[in-house]
Structure 1
Amino acid sequence: MSQARLTTWRQRLLACVLSLSALGCLPARADYTFVVEPVYGPQKAAEVYKPLVDYIAKASGEKITLVTPKNYHFYWRDLRANEKFDFSLDEAHLADYRIARFQFVPLVRTAERQSYTLVTNVDLQDKGIEALVGRKIVCMGAPSLGYALLLGFYPNPIQQPDIESSAASWRDAVEAVFAGEAEAAMVPTWLKDQYPNLTPVKTSVEFAGAAILAAPTVPEAVRNKVAEALLKLDQDPAMSNLLLELGISKFVGASAADYKGAEVMLKDFYGYQ
């Protein structure tokens, strides 16, 4: 082929490629979404989780957008409707729901198991949780795992505390106790351990740590890249503040069996079926 004909061929090929691109015929890199359980308000959640999403995007070479729901009401509504999200960060009961109902794939989980503790700075005179009946307890909204477990502490419908689900984060619940706005708070046990001046009243059973899951529509190759990156996250010094904020040491491998049956914690909430 002569040099002139080769140049013409290349020009035609380039023109064809540009035309196909303009028509949207060439496959573009996918834009994945990563939704997080609303244990923080949207603004704070963006601050906390953006480093995590940026890390995953850089390590995997994928474009990932963080989604921060307004509160648990909207999160539960969207979860039940299986709104399209590619990745999620969920505690055990919600992770099990996604896995069982919508075939989400668990990639990793926090190394630490999760439990919740009811704490107070009020002298209960060794009366235990019964001493808080009729008193204000601050918690994150339903159907957070802490709220579900708190309901389980008080199975008698006529012997209930005054549960206020106005906290914007678990730390806010603790601050409400210190401010005298509530007599007690339901918080993750790892957070309770940071406040030795609070008295633990009762600690829940343990669950597998929060999981990062992938929708079944995410290609296996992408799932593997994301999981591999997360398993190495603790080796990145820039991620130490994130791990500290989340109260964890690292991510480890996860399986559906880790969460099987945990969704029963949702049975008393509206919309569960």
Structure 2
Amino acid sequence: MSIFHRGARRAALVALMAFTGAGQAAAAEYTLTVEPTFPAAQLREVYGPLLSYLERRTGHRFNVRAATGFNQHWRDLRAGAPAELVFEEGHFFDYRRQRSGFVALVRTQEDSAYAIAVADPAIAAEGRDGIVGRTVASLGAPNLGDVLVFDEFRNPLAQPEMRPISSKWSDGPDLVFAGDVEATLLPAYLASENPALTEVWRSRTVPGRVLSASPQLPQEVRRTIAEAMRALHEDPEAFAVMNELRTERFVEVDVAAYAGLERLLVNSFGYTPPARAAAATPPATAAPAPATPPVN
């Protein structure tokens, strides 16, 4: 090989190494925090397709984590525990936005609603009143379903008895059929998919789940992730992601639609209202002009 060819090959190798090094330097690792709606062992299985998609589209690396339960999720939220990306229901997002300045990236196209369903025809025949005083399986407060239940059933003497004994939403029907509880709380889409259960109560509908980012996350990273999420439904491998996350697509967020949802947490332990903007200081009153002495 000539000296010229050896030199050209060496230069090309150096350029390739420099390019690779720059790409590696630009890549970063981020953690997605999600609601504890699955056991820890299932998190990677459920969110793995999404993380793989984001890595492929953005060039960054992603991990996923969840608290051990909704009580811990709420405690971390109140404490302002560090988070980079968060995927959660609207009441948590609104609280996080107003206290920690999190920025909405995208939301699920579908709104959120929850239902209580039963298997016993006698309870079903009573309708909404039939679940008062009945045991209801849940993932634990303050998940959105629980707070919507208590937002409607406000009389402490006329409420269902919520039991946080499920580790994932799909546990609820099994607990009913096993006789461990008399009813189960479910996302509305799951309640409608189980023909062996009768829906006896459905919550009001609220805007859907939100993917938000810490204000400390670089703006370019936030933009890249948001664009990737909005294009997710066009990806050939999107079905695996959408199926796990139970959504048809991700869309832009109208933040105003979420304003006030954090008030659903008002009866949750440790809730404090958002700080109000300081009242504008009233303009100083001008000192009265000195009296003009009388002319003699």
Scaled by the length of structure 1, the TM-score of the pair is 0.86
Structure 1 residue 180: Cα displacement: 2.1
Q: Which residue of 2 aligns with 1:187?
A: 186
Contact (CA 8 Å) 2:124, 2:198: kept in 1 or not? Answer: no
Q: Which residue of 1 aligns with 2:289?
A: none
Count of aligned pairs between the two proteins = 256
**CA offset digits 1:103-128 (Å, max 9, x no partner):** 11111000011101111112226322
Q: Which residue of 1 aligns with 2:81?
A: 83
Query: 2:50 aligned with 1:52, yes or no?
Result: yes
**CA offset digits 1:46-73 (Å, max 9, x no partner):** 2101221221122111122211221112
Contact (CA 8 Å) 1:99, 1:256: kept in 2 or not? Answer: no
Contact (CA 8 Å) 1:37, 1:75: kept in 2 or not? Answer: yes
Q: Which residue of 1 aligns with 2:164?
A: 165
Q: Which one of the candidate residues 103, 106, 109 is aligned to 1:105?
A: 103
Structure of larger gyration radius = 2
Distance 1:47 1:239 in 2: 15
Aligned residue for 1:89, secondary structure, equals strand
**CA offset digits 1:3-54 (Å, max 9, x no partner):** xxxxxxxxxxx9xxxxxx9xxxxx7743221101111111112210122122
Q: Structure 1 residues 247, 31: CA separation in 2 closer, same or farther (over 3 Å shift)?
A: closer
What amino acid sits opposite 1:218 in the alignment? L
Query: 2:12 aligned with 1:39, yes or no?
Result: no
**CA offset digits 1:216-260 (Å, max 9, x no partner):** 011111111001111111122323133123321111111321311
What amino acid sits opposite 1:219 in the alignment? P
Contact (CA 8 Å) 2:103, 2:214: kept in 1 or not? Answer: yes
Aligned residue for 1:127, secondary structure, equals helix
Distance 2:153 2:259 in 1: 24
Structure 1 residue 130: Cα displacement: 2.1
Structure 1 residue 134: Cα displacement: 2.3
Q: Which residue of 1 aligns with 2:264?
A: 265
What amino acid sits opposite 1:140 in the alignment? L
Contact (CA 8 Å) 1:150, 1:186: kept in 2 or not? Answer: no
Distance 1:86 1:155 in 2: 35
Structure 1: gaps of 5 or more residues: 1-13, 15-20, 22-26
Distance 1:54 1:246 in 2: 14
Q: Which residue of 1 aligns with 2:223?
A: 224
Structure 2: gaps of 5 or more residues: 1-13, 15-20, 273-296
Q: Which moved more, 1:239-248 or 1:187-196?
A: 239-248
Structure 1 residue 76: Cα displacement: 1.1
Contact (CA 8 Å) 2:124, 2:200: kept in 1 or not? Answer: no
Q: Which residue of 2 aligns with 1:129?
A: 128
Contact (CA 8 Å) 1:120, 1:201: kept in 2 or not? Answer: yes
Distance 2:124 2:26 in 1: 65
Identical pairs, percent: 35
